[in-house]
Chains A and B, each alone.
Chain A
């Protein structure tokens, strides 16, 4: 694998995609993370890729901050109680 590529826009380096994904979501740590960040610092393809991945993962994590509609929550709580009664009977 070539460590760096020219600073032209384009897709990330093939062997880097899993590492970039891991850095974006925090699952890659330690030396692998340092290696990836070092690579990113010198490779604009992977740098741009990581930047957009981080933005996207951040936006996806924000989805769950939206509260559930109150009527829906009330109906589902009713279903929990129904299921709970079934569980108590069994």
Chain B
């Protein structure tokens, strides 16, 4: 990919990548690490990139990197599960402190959605990608994007119904 510069594209897409990484990891530190890993993978693959839809291309790389991180963590958990029998905390009270404001509350509830719905809502509603672009970024067909988005919005709407107006359903 010689006509456009990697550095320029990556710098322009940093805010989107960081927001998406936060949606994926739900943690600012992990999000920065994920962006860093994504940039390295993207730089390595830059020569093979056709130059179309760089945002979708970068998010797709991030999705794959996040998935492989998750698999690696999962295998580590499987390795240590026999040694560590401490039950995980069911609910983190600090999360509640972080959702005082409406904007924070929406982000908080969005981050609590199951991953496939969270990603569909984040890509289509927060980043305003088309269904086609979101499908390419998540490696799923448009019909799946549509159904995940509808389900994700329904779940989010139910959880936020008290914030959304005087007559919530």
Contact = CB atoms under 8 A, between A and B. Distances in A.
A68 B46 contact: no
Shortest beta-carbon contacts, A-B, top 9: A87-B43, A83-B39, A83-B43, A60-B125, A84-B7, A79-B36, A52-B164, A80-B10, A87-B6
A60 B42 contact: no
A9 B161 CA distance: 14
A59 B150 CA distance: 16
Nearest to A21: B150
Interface residues of B, number: 49
A57 interface: yes
Contacts of A32: none
Contacts of B131: 27
Interface string A55-81: 111011111101010001101110111
Interface string A11-32: 1000001100100010100000
Contacts of A53: 153, 157
Nearest to A49: B169
A52 B7 CA distance: 40
Contacts of B102: 59
Contacts of A62: 103
A27 to B, nearest CB: 6
A9 B167 CA distance: 9
Given A18-B150, A80-B39, A9 B103 contact: no
Contacts of A68: 14-15, 18
A84 B17 CA distance: 16
A48 to B, nearest CB: 6
